[in-house]
């Protein structure tokens, strides 16, 4: 008789398979949470811009304040990307013939705006307001990362709802004096004591809202 | 147990580590391929937001420019002193407009705005030695002639006698409309803030060239 007999080692297969069956769903859950989170799918977006404009040069080495160019940031919900005229304050005189500035000169001549590619973008159903944050001592760096070290801007934070709420629930560690909001190197955790931070919370009367209608209006 | 099974289960285990490794790599390197929105929800709605393009118009702007001659609410230029820095007879105003209170808070606002808009060229103390000036000067000093058409004129020191002697209205006008090689800052800085900057420039001038009497009083 030549009936097939499972070899003895095959007894190990069953516990092995059960173990795999138990671990695989965990693996799948972990992978979806890690791989499909906004930190993977949204953060890190770095498009190639039409002009090789460098924040590392202008905001970093030249030490220009963000508000020189993004001058609506304290008064409006939108942080305006500067018009060509702002660049020409300097570039009529500094390297006007540079090949890197051809698009800028062209835009200046024709009046057609430079088509900068939008990087940070929330879903169209949500509402964000720069003035509300910048005038309450939340620095640019908390949400945009070290822009002053970026040759090409990329999105450094996920900008997901969970991320917004993390801070709205506990804003204290992110607060700094309003005079330092554009200071990218300022680190509140080293510069301020806990009592000073609590003082800021009271001084600026900060109660970030968690109501749906704050951000979905 | 046959070797094949042992080895292949090891290989399988190793393969499991590949997808997280790829994701870790994606997370740590900025790239063009994002954002990836698998479920689009209502992320992209057919509406125009601030500074978005609209192909229907020749200049592609969704935000329309005002028709020439249009006057926005609250934007009536009925006060040449406040808006132009001139008096009714067209001469430069030597006083601040009546609607402005020049107090400490106002001058500090001016100091902050000066730091944002002027110090890059004029330097923190106004001597015309800002970082941009230094950079541009090295471009001018390039051995084979100024680089790529650079034609930099050093920003004037606000302490130069001819500037220090100017009435406030004239300084306000230079900031608003520009002067010779300097561009105007009317579009970037609100009218009130431009006056605040003038107040700070005056304070700077006073601090650097204080008349002897005043200095003696301050140190007394």
pLDDT tens for residues A148-187? Answer: 999 999 998 899 999 999 999 988 888 889 888 998 888 8
Residues of A in contact with B152 (CB under 8 A): 93-94
CB contact under 8 A, A46 and B32: yes
Q: Give the containing element (helix H, strand E) for A111.
A: none
Query: How far apart (Å, rounded) are the C-alpha atoms in residues B61 and B55?
Result: 8
Chain B residue nearest residue A60, CA to CA:
B131
Q: What is the pLDDT of residue B219?
A: 54
Examine the pLDDT at A200 and tell me if it is beyond 90. Answer: no
Over its C-alpha atoms, chain A yields an Rg (Å, rounded) of: 25
Query: How far apart (Å, rounded) are the C-alpha atoms in residues A129 and A175?
Result: 17
Segments of chain B with pLDDT less than 50: 220
Query: How far apart (Å, rounded) are the C-alpha atoms in residues A105 and A103?
Result: 6
Kindly report the CA angle at B49 between A169 and A88, in degrees rounded to 5? Answer: 105
- Chain B, 38 to 57: residues with Cβ < 8 Å from chain A are 38, 41-45, 47, 49-53
Q: What is the DSSP string of A140-198?
A: HHHHH--GGG-SS----S---HHHHHHHHH--GGGB--GGGTT-TT--HHHHS-HHHHH
Q: What is the pLDDT of residue B11?
A: 93
- Taking the Cβ of residue B117 and every Cβ of chain A, the question of whether any pair is shorter than 8 Å is answered with yes
Residues of B in contact with A121 (CB under 8 A): 35
Query: How far apart (Å, rounded) are the C-alpha atoms in residues B155 and B175?
Result: 13
Contacts of B116 (CB under 8 A, 6+ apart): A65, A67, A68
CB contact under 8 A, B147 and A46: no
CB contact under 8 A, A85 and B43: no
Q: What is the pLDDT of residue B212?
A: 62
Domains located in chain B, CATH noted: 80-218 (1.10.760.10)
CB contact under 8 A, A88 and B151: no
The tokens describing A4, both together, are: 């097939």
The band of A54, judged by pLDDT with boundaries at 50, 70 and 90, is very high
The band of A56, judged by pLDDT with boundaries at 50, 70 and 90, is very high
Within 10 angstroms of residue A97's Cβ, the number of other Cβ atoms is 11
> pLDDT higher for A68 or B219?
A68
Q: Which of B117, B147, B181 is closest, CB to CB, to A68? A: B117
Q: Which of B30, B60, B188 is closest, CB to CB, to A86? A: B188
Query: How far apart (Å, rounded) are the C-alpha atoms in residues B114 and B18?
Result: 54
Q: What is the pLDDT of residue A55?
A: 93
Give the pLDDT mean for A22-50: 89
Residues β-bridged to residue A216: none
- What are the two backbone dihedrals, phi and then psi, of residue A202, each rounded to the nearest 5 degrees? -75, -40
CB contact under 8 A, A62 and B32: no
Does the predicted TM-score (pTM) go above 0.90?
no
Give the pLDDT mean for A138-156: 91
Residues of A in contact with B44 (CB under 8 A): 124
CB contact under 8 A, B44 and A124: yes
The band of A133, judged by pLDDT with boundaries at 50, 70 and 90, is very high
Examine the pLDDT at A1 and tell me if it is beyond 70. Answer: no
Examine the pLDDT at A26 and tell me if it is beyond 90. Answer: yes
């Amino acid at each position: 008789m030549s009936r097939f007999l499972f070899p003895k080692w095959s007894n190990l297969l069953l516990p092995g398979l059960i173990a795999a069956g138990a671990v695989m769903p965990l693996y799948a859950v972990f992978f979806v949470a890690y791989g499909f989170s906004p930190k993977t799918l949204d953060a890190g977006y770095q498009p190639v811009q039409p002009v090789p404009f460098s924040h590392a040069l202008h905001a970093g080495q030249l030490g220009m304040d963000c508000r020189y160019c993004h001058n609506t940031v304290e008064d409006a919900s939108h942080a305006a990307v500067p018009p060509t005229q702002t660049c020409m304050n300097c570039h009529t005189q500094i390297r006007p013939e540079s090949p890197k500035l051809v698009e800028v000169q062209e835009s200046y001549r024709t009046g057609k705006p430079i088509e900068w590619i939008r990087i940070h973008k929330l879903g169209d159903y949500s509402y964000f307001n720069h003035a509300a944050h910048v005038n309450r001592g939340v620095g640019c760096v908390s949400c945009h990362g070290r822009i002053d070290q970026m040759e090409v801007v990329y999105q450094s934070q996920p900008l997901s709802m969970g991320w917004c709420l993390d801070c709205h629930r506990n804003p204290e560690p992110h607060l700094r004096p309003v005079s330092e909001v554009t200071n990218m190197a300022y680190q509140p955790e080293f510069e301020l004591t806990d009592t000073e931070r609590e003082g800021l919370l009271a001084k600026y009367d900060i109660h970030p809202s968690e109501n749906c209608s704050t951000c979905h209006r | 147990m046959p070797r094949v099974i042992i080895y292949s289960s090891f290989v399988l285990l190793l393969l499991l580590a590949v997808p997280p490794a790829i994701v870790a790599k994606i997370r740590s390197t900025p790239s063009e391929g994002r954002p990836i929105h698998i479920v689009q929800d209502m992320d992209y709605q057919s509406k125009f937001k601030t500074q978005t393009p609209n192909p229907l118009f020749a200049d592609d702007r969704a935000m329309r420019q005002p028709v020439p001659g249009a006057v926005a609410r609250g934007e009536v230029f009925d006060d040449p002193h406040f808006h132009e820095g001139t008096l009714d007879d067209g001469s430069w105003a030597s006083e601040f407009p009546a609607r402005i209170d020049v107090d400490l808070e106002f001058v500090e606002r001016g100091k902050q705005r000066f730091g944002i808009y002027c110090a890059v060229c004029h330097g923190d103390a106004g001597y015309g030695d800002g970082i941009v000036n230094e950079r541009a000067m090295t471009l001018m000093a390039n051995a084979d002639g100024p680089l790529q058409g650079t034609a930099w004129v050093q920003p004037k020191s606000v302490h130069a006698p001819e500037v220090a002697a100017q009435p406030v209205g004239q300084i306000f006008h230079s900031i608003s409309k520009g002067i010779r090689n300097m561009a105007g800052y009317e579009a970037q800085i609100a009218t009130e803030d431009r006056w605040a900057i003038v107040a700070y420039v005056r304070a700077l001038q006073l601090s650097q060239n204080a008349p002897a009497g005043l200095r003696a009083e301050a140190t007394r």
